[in-house]
Amino acid sequence: MPQDPSPSETAGIPPAFANAYADEARADAYAGLEFPGTYYLAFRDVPAILAAHVTGTAALDFGCGAGRSTRFLRGLGFDVVGVDIADEMLRRARRSDPQGEYLRAADDDLGTLGSRRFDLVFSAFTFDNVPTRAKKVTLFRALGALLRPAGRIVNLVSSPDIYLHEWASFSTKDFPENRRAEAGDVVRIVMLDVPDRRPVEDVLWPDAAYRDVYVQAGLDIVDTHRPLGRPTDPHRWVSETTVAPWSIYVLRPARASGG
């Protein structure tokens, strides 16, 4: 069973790691992104996934950042509220989308949402930056409690393979240590679609480790999807046609035994 990183491992995580986008330069770089290159592949199949698994239109965008995914969901017809921990990102979200609803969540406290419940909780890349198993479990339990009876969580995360290859939007060639990383270790990647080329630090969390977290959080996996690039896509792929850079999980609260 995957375990939390040891104290020595967590001691090596920079203090701002869980809130990297509080950095103004990083926030500016990320806020200007829409869906270039490899990011296009992350969102390409989401409309079909949501149509297949989600009924109702009340949505929470957990870890909304500068509002890219919030605006995406609204474009699909959802009545969506975005929440994030990074004030710098929320300021940019409100600036780009003054009619949108964006709320600050203090770390793992979702009390700002009150009694609101949702048909969809969507989270894009957020859990790449949540450092420990215990914290992931706590957050997923809290998100599961926000669902309506037929609600679903859609968790879009980086596949471990993204840290081992070259991509249309990312480079990892300067970080051979990524190949030795295990669940909970910090891995590094460079974004090629923005001027800020400082390495982004994520937490490696493989499929087996996510599955363990979901069980502990009282969630069942309904579906998984790992998108590959197609010749008809409007981008020139590097590794995307043979290796999936993203993993998308559709989750629901676990059914009681015999139910």
The gap from C-alpha 4 to its chain's centroid, in whole angstroms, comes to 19
Residue 109 within a domain: yes
pLDDT tens, residue by residue, 64-104 = 999 999 999 999 999 999 999 988 899 999 999 999 999 99
What is the rounded average pLDDT of the residues 243-248? 98
Say what the pLDDT of residue 18 is.
Answer: 43
pLDDT tens, residue by residue, 169-222 = 999 999 999 999 999 999 999 999 988 889 999 999 999 999 999 999 999 999
Please choose, from the candidates 196, 39, 205, the residue with its C-alpha nearest in 3D space to the C-alpha of residue 129.
205
Domain count, the chain: 1
Residue 214's alpha-carbon distances to 107, 219, 254, in angstroms, are 19, 5, 9
- Work out the end-to-end distance of the chain between its first and last CA atoms, rounded to an integer number of angstroms: 27
Q: Can you tell me which residue has the tokens 């909304």?
A: 64
Confidence check: pLDDT of 31 > 60: no
Residue 235 within a domain: yes
Residue 77 within a domain: yes
The CATH number covering residue 21 comes to 3.40.50.150
Residue 164 within a domain: no
Residue 188's alpha-carbon distances to 185, 212, 229, in angstroms, are 10, 24, 23
Please state at what angle helix 46-53 crosses helix 37-44, rounded to 10 degrees: 20
Expressed as residue numbers, the domain containing 32 is 7-159+206-253
From 6-20, 35-49, 146-160, the region with the lowest mean pLDDT: 6-20
Residue 188 within a domain: no
pTM: 0.88
Residue 89 within a domain: yes
Residue 165 within a domain: no
Q: What percent of the chain has pLDDT over 90?
A: 77
Query: What residues have CB less than 8 Å from 205, skipping those under 6 apart?
Result: 127, 128, 136, 157, 160, 183, 184, 213
Residue 114 within a domain: yes
What is the rounded average pLDDT of the residues 97-125? 91
